[in-house]
Amino acid sequence: MITYGTMYTFGVFFEPLLAEFGWTRAMTSGAYSLFMVFSGLLYIVTGRLNDRFGPRIVVTVCGFFLGLGYLLMSQISAVWHLYLFYGVIISIGVSGAFVPLISTVARWFVKKRGLMTGIVEAGTGIGTVIMPPVANWLIFNYGWRTSYIIVGIIVLLPIVLAAQFLKRHPEQIELLPYGADEATGENLNLQARGFSLQQAVHTRQFWLLCGIYFSFLFCVQTIMVHAVIYATGLGISPTSAASILVIIGGLSIAGRVMIGSAGDRIGNKPALTISLALMSLTLFGLVATKGIWALYLFAAIFGFIYGGLVVLISPLVAELFGLRSHGVILGIVAFCSGIGGAIGPVMAGHIFDITGSYQLAFLVCGAIGFVSSILTLLLRPANRKGLIQNI
């Protein structure tokens, strides 16, 4: 909730930064793109460290960097400050959230893994509902510099404190993962089951999953970065425009829980295919969306689908490759998605700088979403003699 709620305030701080420094939209978006690439790369590192040492140490260190990064953001005076503080230091902080926490959930649950992942991931949606309007209010009343100081304090203390209670797997307190006895009938060492990283990267499924989630975050981050400023460009007030992110975050809570649960019932692959196809349709529809209520409707549908798609990543990795190297495999998939998330906002900003419109950018996102839904049809459980893939 804290990590991703504050992360998605970038779109709210976007316009005050442009107004003060006169940077182009592409230049400002570039810092967010660097953030996406670097944090994605660090997901591989934090995933490996979580496999080895567990989440307590990883999340503590990353929480410190996250709070520090926001405090430093209050002091920027040049574009390289933005790229260093947001693109690098905050990246280190954010890399301690998704992969270590969600990989830990996968180790604690066999039965209802999708639902439980969705419940934990609902924190992202709750944060997205709370933080953008809070940031907008802070900026209006105190200015963007003071607002970043307040955000840094909000981040630093709770994350570091909460991290002290995390445990990597239930064996640390002499328990089995929830549902493990029903799934296997005996106490097995789940950590040793499945694919190693080296084995996983030699499968087609691994690279398909990376490509699918590259496409997914390409679309999502384009919307998250540019939705507010797109709406204000249509003459909508900043407060009403910021509500778009609130709606996306709010409906993503329901999407995380409901689509995660649907993955448990109908299978993760069908849930993924349907969700990506629906996301593509909403993005094509955004091209013709102008009024505030139409934008709110788009935000509601898009947020629901986006939330569910995030949740399906970890159960899919566990289903296809097991838990042996779940953290680092999930980290690489997240890194590839981060590359997409880095390219998307810059592409949209560049298209706007050239054409004065976001219409072409939204069409590109819709097409990419459609292609990714087709790629899901090629996903099959990886086969390797002597290894268990489906747990």
Kindly state whether residue 332 falls inside one of the protein's structural domains: yes
Tell me if 389 is assigned to some domain: no
Asked whether residue 388 is domain-assigned, the answer is: no
More confident residue, 195 or 4: 4
- State the Cα–Cα distance between residues 311 and 303, nearest whole angstrom: 13
Q: In 3D, which of 191, 304, 325, 113 has the Cα closest to residue 333?
A: 325
How many structural domains does the chain have? 1
pTM for the model stands at: 0.74
Among residues 158, 138, 31, 41, which one has the least CA distance to residue 85? 31
The whole domain housing 258 covers 2-168+179-378
Look at residue 386 and tell me if it is in a domain: no
Residues 390/381, Cβ–Cβ less than 8 Å:
yes
Q: Which of 135, 348, 145, 152 is nearest to 246 (CA)?
A: 135
Q: Work out the average pLDDT over 313-326.
A: 84
Lowest mean pLDDT segment, chosen from 60-69, 79-88, 297-306, 338-347: 338-347
- Comparing CA positions, the residue from 293, 301, 318, 320 lying closest to residue 369 is 301
**What gap in Å lies between CA 12 and CA 232, rounded to an integer?**
11
376 pLDDT higher than 50 = yes
Has residue 373 been placed in a domain? yes
Assign residue 75 the CATH number of its domain: 1.20.1250.20
Confidence (pLDDT) at 357: 86
Q: Is residue 383 part of a domain?
A: no
CA geometry: angle 62, 201, 94, nearest 5 deg: 15
Summarised one tens digit per residue, pLDDT across range 167-181 is 888 887 778 878 777
What pLDDT does residue 113 have? Answer: 86
Give the C-alpha separation, 203 to 200, whole Å. Answer: 6
pLDDT of residue 192: 43
**Does 233 reside within a domain?**
yes
- Cβ-based burial of 135 (10 A; exposed 0-12, middle 13-18, buried ≥19): buried
Q: 376 to each of 63, 108, 152, 277, 298, how far by Cα in Å?
A: 34, 27, 39, 10, 24
Taking each helix axis from N to C terminus, what angle separates 268-286 and 292-321, rounded to the nearest 10 degrees?
150
Which pLDDT does position 34 carry in this prediction? 87
pLDDT digits (tens, 9 = 90+) for 243-255: 888 888 888 889 9
Q: Judge whether residue 364 has pLDDT over 90.
A: yes
pLDDT of 313 above 90: no
Residue 159 lies in a domain: yes
* Residue-wise pLDDT tens digits, 73-124: 999 988 899 999 999 999 999 999 888 998 898 888 888 888 898 888 888 8
